[in-house]
Amino acid sequence: MTLHREGTVILIVWFIILGAIASIIYWLFSNNVWIYGIAFGVCLILFLLVAQFFRVPRRKVTLEDGVVVCPADGKVVVIENVHEHEYLDREVKQISVFMSPLNVHVNFNPISGVVKYFKYHPGLFLVAWHPKSSTDNERTTVVVEDPQGRQVLYRQIAGAVARRICWYVKQGQQVEQSEEFGFIKFGSRIDIFIPTDSEIHVEIGQKVQGSITRLATLPK
């Protein structure tokens, strides 16, 4: 387990702030071990809580052609047919994974292939489960086409707390399944859009792991 590079500046700033608070409390209550001990403990817990947002797990993954793996840790909150308007412009199956503040926040490519489309959308910060968060919130849209011509669209969505989306892919780039493609600071959600005749392997409410859980198998 390591810490993600996106957390470096935040953790340094957080360490300085909490260190300053602990120093002030020590200066004010240096003769009271209990008060200082409790304050130091609270500062340490707060630092560790922020640090856990940026943990990067070590995972053994298996690449599977035609299989869509989960792009994030979290819980499946949506499985339904929708019309995707931004790029695919057809009815597709949507699977949404909600990332809580306790989940790993690294995002992984669900399939291997070429990035056919990428776009960043500035927007609002509605709560991640709001019906309009998928279209109105700050978000990115990525479409990857595999060697068989099958396309999967996936979308990072910021929420009320998550206000910083990071991505590491661009249009025309070759990407590999289970490879890191982005990061959402402090959680939120990812929507995955696949053909309607795909075989689904998860259900509503199921806890899933990024780069490991098989979401679906694409039609041949």
SS3 97: strand
- Are 5 and 57 spatial neighbours (Cβ–Cβ below 8 Å)? no
DSSP letter (8 states) at residue 216: E
Is residue 188 annotated as part of the catalytic site, yes or no? Answer: yes
- When mean pLDDT is compared across 60-64, 146-150, 151-155, the lowest value belongs to 60-64
| Residue with token string 């130091």 | 40
Tokens of 106: 């690294």
Angle in degrees, 0-180, between the axes of helices 8-29 and 33-52, rounded to the nearest 10: 170
Tokens of 61: 């993954």
Strands lying side by side in the sheet with 67-69: 67-69, 214-217, 199-200
- When mean pLDDT is compared across 122-131, 138-147, 208-217, the lowest value belongs to 122-131
pTM comes to 0.79
Encoded amino acid at 38, one letter = I
Tokens of 25: 């409390």
pLDDT at 58: 77
pLDDT at 33: 74
With b for 16 or more beta-carbon neighbours within 10 A and e for fewer, the 19-54 pattern comes to eeebeebeeeeeeeeeebeebeeebeeebeebebbb
pLDDT in tens, 59-116: 777 678 899 999 999 999 999 999 999 999 999 999 999 988 788 788 999 999 999 9
Tokens of 73: 């840790």
- Mean pLDDT confidence for 166-173: 92
pLDDT at 106: 87
Whether residue 131 is predicted with pLDDT greater than 70 in this model: the reply is no
pLDDT at 76: 96
Neighbours of 71 (CB within 10 A): 32
How far is 98 from 160, CA to CA, in rounded Å? 13
Q: What percentage of the chain carries pLDDT values higher than 90?
A: 47
Mean pLDDT value across the chain: 84
Whether residue 133 is predicted with pLDDT greater than 60 in this model: the reply is no
- Are 173 and 101 spatial neighbours (Cβ–Cβ below 8 Å)? no
Tokens of 184: 């959402």
- The residue annotated as part of the active site, out of 178, 188, 198, 211, is 188
pLDDT at 107: 92
Higher pLDDT, 85 or 11: 85
Q: Could you tell me how far CA 158 lies from the centroid of its own chain?
A: 9
pLDDT tier at 174 (50, 70, 90 boundaries)?
A: very high
pLDDT in tens, 35-48: 777 777 787 877 77
Largest Cα span, the chain = 73
Query: Would you list the DSSP string of 91-124?
Result: EEEEEEEEE-TTS--EEE-SS-EEEEEEEEE--B
Encoded amino acid at 99, one letter = M
Neighbours of 83 (CB within 10 A): 10
